[in-house]
């Protein structure tokens, strides 16, 4: 018995030695690190698709990433949050599993990410309005349906993107297999007040006199009908993030922000402009976001799925869950992420994938209107390389 194991053991030892001898050097630059990630996430399946390109949407060039192991799978468009907090540059971390079940589209919105870098900010500024952003989302969905010969797609909206997604679901339910709300925006003033109270309660429990003083300085916070000032918002978010209201058990989204610099889709210039783009979008759109109240919306013509983080105080999951009880739709499902706050796709990527497969993918019912992939849905080998 022992003699029969010797060749196997010898082979293991040889492999270990070979690995040790050929151990690659640690990456010493962004370019080297990005290449490693790009190689690991390359789509190689015969029917796969891997593209990164500009699309003319709303009169300007807007960047999309389109990735999937089988282009016959349904399309899932993720509409990122913020305004300006892009999800494309961290999708290398959380999205890879999704691509086995969906053709996943990441889109950098007007004024955000690589789309910001591709356009003149001064020229785009007059168009940075909620209605124009809804129009862009409508155009993006229409482009995907036409480009890939699909009558319907899945639309997932995160945070600010959940406002855009909700509006598209209301206006065009026949375009969607389902709408998926992640960190759903509903009643922003109520959410802001709850977030302030959470931060104050945590500060008092911790005996943090500085936090209590700063939070008291903006009280009464988000009261009345007027918008919250960006200065007051900054104080509320500072302490809300400190106590895990954005990312559970952490002090904000620093890890996610750092991971953006490793995006294979992003050029060095895109990475350098991320902070500027985020500030630009916030300054143009956030005041209107903070006064939104969508709680009057109750009826949907397409299935609705909610992904909510149990500890989300950035956009209150309690407010969203209470609203969801009133929703009427062909079908609806609420999924709680018990170990997440606002970034559940990064905080619980395994449960996000499992939930998409269990609760969303089956809603792709047979659709005789789908023509299948067009000639433009090329295999991975023909897809555009990261710039």
Span of 282-286, 301-305, 316-320, 381-385 with lowest mean pLDDT: 381-385
For residues 248-267, average pLDDT: 91
> What's the CA dihedral at 178, 296, 183, 67 to 10 degrees?
30
pLDDT-derived band at 21, boundaries 50, 70, 90? low
Of the candidates 288, 287, 274, which has an alpha carbon nearest to the alpha carbon of residue 116?
A: 274
pLDDT of residue 22: 63
Q: Are 108 and 140 in contact (CB under 8 A)?
A: no
Token pair belonging to 39: 């190689």
Of the candidates 253, 209, 217, 259, which has an alpha carbon nearest to the alpha carbon of residue 235?
A: 217
Residue whose entry in the numeric block shows the structure tokens 């082979």:
11
Phi, psi of 210 (to 5 degrees): -65, -45
Q: Rounded CA gap, 340 and 226, in Å?
A: 31
Residue whose entry in the numeric block shows the structure tokens 């950098």:
108
| CA distance between the termini of the chain | 56
Cβ count within 10 A of residue 174: 10
Work out the percent of the chain whose per-residue pLDDT is above 90.
81
Work out the percent of the chain whose per-residue pLDDT is above 70.
88
Q: 202-256: per-residue pLDDT in tens? A: 999 999 999 999 999 999 999 877 788 889 999 999 999 999 999 999 888 888 8
To 5 degrees, how large is the angle CA 119–CA 103–CA 332? 105
For residues 175-197, average pLDDT: 97
Q: H helices within the chain, ranges in order?
A: 2-21, 30-40, 91-94, 113-117, 121-124, 130-147, 160-171, 188-206, 209-216, 230-242, 254-259, 268-272, 274-290, 317-324, 344-347, 349-355
Query: Quick check: helix, strand or coil at residue 337?
Result: strand
pLDDT of residue 20: 52
Residue ranges of the chain that CATH labels 3.40.50.1820: 36-187+247-382
pLDDT-derived band at 93, boundaries 50, 70, 90? very high
Q: Rounded CA gap, 160 and 126, in Å?
A: 19
- For the 36-187+247-382 domain, the top CATH level (class) is alpha beta
């Amino acid at each position: 018995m022992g003699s029969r194991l010797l060749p196997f053991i010898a082979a293991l030892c040889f492999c270990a030695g070979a690995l040790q001898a050929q151990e690659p050097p640690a990456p010493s630059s962004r370019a080297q690190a990005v290449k490693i990630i790009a190689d690991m996430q390359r789509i190689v399946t015969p029917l796969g698709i891997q593209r990164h390109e500009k699309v003319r949407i709303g009169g300007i060039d807007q960047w999309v990433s389109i990735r999937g192991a089988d282009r016959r799978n349904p399309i899932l468009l993720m509409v990122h949050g913020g305004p300006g907090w892009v999800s494309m540059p961290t999708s290398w971390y959380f999205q890879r599993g999704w691509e086995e079940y969906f053709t996943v589209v990441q889109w950098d919105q007007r004024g955000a990410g690589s789309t910001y870098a591709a356009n003149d900010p001064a020229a785009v500024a007059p168009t940075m309005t909620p209605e124009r952003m809804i129009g862009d989302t409508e155009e993006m969905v229409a482009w995907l349906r036409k480009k890939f010969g699909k009558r319907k797609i899945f639309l997932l909206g995160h945070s600010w993107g959940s406002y855009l997604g909700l509006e598209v679901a209301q206006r065009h339910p026949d375009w969607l297999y389902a709408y998926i709300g992640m960190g759903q925006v509903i009643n922003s003033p109520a959410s802001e007040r709850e977030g302030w109270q959470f931060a104050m309660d945590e500060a008092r429990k911790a005996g943090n006199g500085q936090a209590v003083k700063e939070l008291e300085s903006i009280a009464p916070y988000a009261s009345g009908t007027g918008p919250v000032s960006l200065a007051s918002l900054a104080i509320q978010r500072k302490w809300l993030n400190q106590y895990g209201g954005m990312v559970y058990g952490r002090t904000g989204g620093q890890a996610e922000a750092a991971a953006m610099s490793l995006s294979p889709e992003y050029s060095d210039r895109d990475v350098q402009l991320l902070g500027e783009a985020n500030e630009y979008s916030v300054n143009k759109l956030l005041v209107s976001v903070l006064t939104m109240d969508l709680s009057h919306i109750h009826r949907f013509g397409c299935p609705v799925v909610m992904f909510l983080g149990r500890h989300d105080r950035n956009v209150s999951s309690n407010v969203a869950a209470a609203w969801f009880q009133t929703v009427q739709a062909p079908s609806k499902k609420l999924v709680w992420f018990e170990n997440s706050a606002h970034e559940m796709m990064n905080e619980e990527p395994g449960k996000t994938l499992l939930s998409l497969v269990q609760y969303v993918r089956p809603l792709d019912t047979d659709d005789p209107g789908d023509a299948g992939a067009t000639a433009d849905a090329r295999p991975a080998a023909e897809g555009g390389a990261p710039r």
